[in-house]
Amino acid sequence: MNEILTNSQFFGLCLSLWTYFIGMWLKRKLKWAVLNPLLIAILLCIAVLLCFDIDYETYYQGARYISYFLTPATVALAIPLYEQLDQLKKNWKAILVGITSGVLASGGSILLLSKLFGFTEAEFVTFYPKPITTAIGMSLSEEMGGYVAITVAAIVITGVFGNIVAEAAVKLFGIKNRVAKGIAIGSASHAIGTVKAMEMGEVEGAMSSLSIVLSGILTVVLANLFLMLY
């Protein structure tokens, strides 16, 4: 059985897709917020690899094809933003302040926690890109000398957590403005969180999509500043 799986060029791709479909089915069936399809897919993939004693490199030979779609998928998020262009023009000042505040809060908290736990510079830059989308975060981590594999894990965990708690969080803090909801979710939990924002409404989804782009740019621009402060 192991030979059949490991010799298949598309084993990783098929495993990733099937586990994600199972996650989507469970989410629709049970409607529990914690049953995020991506989280379910990750856990099931790990379980299969462990059960059949398959190493990551073998899995990645097929799964790598999925990563080719990261950048175009992120760019495609501009479509809902274009459809809500009037909201952007009307609230551009509040949007810029909100996104900038989110980036500073994220970078500042990672800086403080890194100092608190005695992280090395490489470990700090590994976690610094965690609130931005994977396509940008991977490149930034690699350029700054971080551990890219851990960066990807941190980004995914951040997004999944944001997707799960986003709706409850905006209710807890009494955020009722639809633009503010989208900005908060997109700034904190990038593309995976944006999926939840789109479920909440078109305006929320569009503003969250904008936050992904601007948060990524600002995070890259401010990277050297935070590194100097470290």
Could you tell me the pTM of the whole model?
0.82
Domain of 133 in residue numbering reads as: 75-229
Over range 117-123, report the average pLDDT: 93
pLDDT digits 0-9 by tens, 89-118: 888 999 999 999 999 999 999 999 999 999
Tell me if 168 sits within 8 A of 160, measured CB to CB: no
Domain edge (last residue) among 68, 86, 113 = 68
Q: Cα angle vertex 84, ends 81, 89, to 5°?
A: 100
pLDDT digits 0-9 by tens, 46-73: 999 999 888 888 888 888 888 788 778 7
154 and 213 fall within a common domain: yes
Answer yes or no: is pLDDT of 11 > 90: no
Using CA atoms, how far apart are residues 227 and 213, in angstroms rounded to an integer? Answer: 21
20 and 96 fall within a common domain: no
Over range 132-159, report the average pLDDT: 91
Domain edge (last residue) among 22, 42, 68 = 68
Domain edge (last residue) among 68, 94, 124 = 68
* Predicted pLDDT of residue 136: 87
**The token pair that represents 70 in the structure block:** 């990261």
Which residues make Cβ contacts (< 8 Å) with residue 12, sequence separation at least 6? Answer: 58, 59, 60, 61, 62, 63, 64
Q: Cα angle vertex 24, ends 21, 27, to 5°?
A: 150
122 and 46 fall within a common domain: no
64 and 86 fall within a common domain: no
| Amino acid at position 189, single letter | S
204 and 96 fall within a common domain: yes
176 and 198 fall within a common domain: yes
Q: Cα angle vertex 11, ends 18, 35, to 5°?
A: 25
Q: How many domains does the chain have?
A: 2
* Predicted pLDDT of residue 85: 83
81 and 50 fall within a common domain: no
Question: Range with the lowest mean pLDDT among 64-68, 126-130, 175-179, 183-187?
Answer: 64-68
* Predicted pLDDT of residue 4: 55
pLDDT digits 0-9 by tens, 201-225: 989 999 998 898 899 999 999 998 9
Answer yes or no: is pLDDT of 7 > 70: no
44 and 85 fall within a common domain: no
32 and 85 fall within a common domain: no
| Amino acid at position 26, single letter | L
Residue 97 sits at φ, ψ, to 5 deg, of -65, -40
